[in-house]
Amino acid sequence: MGMTMTQKILAAAAGLPSVEAGQLIEADLDLVLGNDITSPVAIHEMDKFKEDKVFDKDKIALVMDHFIPNKDIKSAEHCKCVREFAARHEITNYFDVGEMGIEHALVPEKGLAVAGDVIIGADSHTCTYGALGAFSTGVGSTDMAAGMATGRAWFKVPSALRITLTGKPSRWVSGKDVILHLIGMIGVDGALYKSLEFVGDGVENLSMDDRFTIANMAIEAGAKNGIFPVDEKAAAYMKEHSKRAYKVYEADADAAYDEEYTIDLAALKPTVAFPHLPENTKTVDEITEDVVIDQVVIGSCTNGRISDLRTAAEILKGRKVKKGIRCIVIPATQAVYLQAMDEGLLRTFIEAGAVVSTPTCGPCLGGYMGILADKERCVSTTNRNFVGRMGHVGSEVYLASPAVAAASAVTGKISAPDELGL
């Protein structure tokens, strides 16, 4: 029996000729990632080790992004812990205020992830880098500690679901709509500890930003990872952003998949996930009653890249955020922020009545920069809408694309761009 793309990467990293689903392996790591919330736990675990050293200072990335700039004393202490650890071990890829960015946008932008890599991160959305043809997955902080010390990690080899994408998405349909549609199809546990492997001629019609978004939310279907084939777009992205060599793996023709699904991108419509699970999806034309909102958030590791901001700005240009609606725009990295400034997007947002934040995860996890009160509703381009995710347990989060979020900011209710005549 042949191997899937993910299985081939893991076999190579484990130094084995082949692996099969369910097999336990120990694999070499190309990158170990942590942030300001998860890294302190890993660092405290490392303090218990007999030898206080890291396996490779160039293969660890520590990104201060959740509560940066620090929102309170506790977050300041967490960042101080990581900052001192990074200095002590001379960590090459340490990113703090001034070089900051949301980790899962920053890592590929900085060229730290390439095809064929095995990457672990103490954050569940580490699966983002599958967009480049890497195996990347989230782990606990103790696994991060072991990874930083040894450069190796244990894995149970996942089985896979094959997702065939066909056709070309319409104007206002993006990667966010694709992944919300898939999660709506299979559920939040539909790919539990499996690899989501995306194939088909529709892949070429998705931008790299679309692919990052889709891979980012593989975890919301329970997946161990999400992964795309390495085509010309992926190769061009890596050439632009990284100086590292990469390796392309392709699934065998006789690779085994637990299930196979086909999604016609041309048939998709803007999709919204209602509270309190990402699987509670409806297309905008299936929403029969007005869903009046209080806040809109455009940003996060899922949808804070430059194409997301361009889409939002296209809709907001010449329009106003509805009176009483709070619209918060968060560029994912400093580079995205600068590009948005150069292109005039920040002016568009501010003139429309939105606010623009420095790069941060902030409101996504109910941290700061957009906390919800009881009974408030938010349309957000983030990735989770669990009870209390963005604030009060009585609040509600509706997940959507930047296009739907921006249109909703104008109307004050969940809306598609075509409702504005676009």
Domains of the chain: 5-244+257-264 (3.30.499.10), 272-420 (3.30.499.10)
Strand partners, 298: 329
pLDDT tens for 312-362 read 999 999 999 999 999 999 999 999 999 999 999 999 999 999 999 999 999
Q: What is the residue-wise DSSP string for 188-219?
A: TTTTTTEEEEEESTTGGGS-HHHHHHHHHGGG
Q: Across the chain, how many H-helices and E-strands are there?
A: 13, 18
DSSP-assigned letter for residue 292: B
pLDDT tens for 407-420 read 999 999 999 998 88
Residue 25 CA to residue 3 CA, distance in Å, equals 15
Residue with tokens 């244990």, as numbered in its chain:
154
Backbone φ and ψ for 413, nearest 5 degrees, come out as -150, 165
CB count in 10 Å sphere of residue 48: 8
pLDDT of residue 177: 98
Sheet holding 135-138, edge to edge: 93-95, 60-63, 31-35, 118-121, 135-138
pLDDT tens for 134-152 read 999 999 999 999 999 999 9
pLDDT of residue 262: 97
pLDDT of residue 321: 97
Which residues, other chains included, contact 110 with Cβ-Cβ below 8 Å and sequence gap of 6+? 93, 241
pLDDT of residue 220: 96
- In this prediction, the residues of the chain whose per-residue pLDDT falls under 70 are none
pLDDT of residue 52: 82
Q: What is the residue-wise DSSP string for 48-116?
A: TSSS---S-TTSEEEE--TT-S--SHHHHHHHHHHHHHHHHTT-SEEE-TTS-B-HHHHHHHTT---TT
pLDDT of residue 421: 81
pLDDT of residue 47: 86
pLDDT of residue 416: 93
pLDDT of residue 1: 78
Radius of gyration of the chain (CA): 21
Percent above pLDDT 70 for the chain: 100
What is the distance, to the nearest Å, from the Cα of residue 222 to the centroid of all Cα atoms in its chain? Answer: 14
Q: In terms of Cα–Cα distance, which of 34, 42, 152, 160 is closest to 103?
A: 34
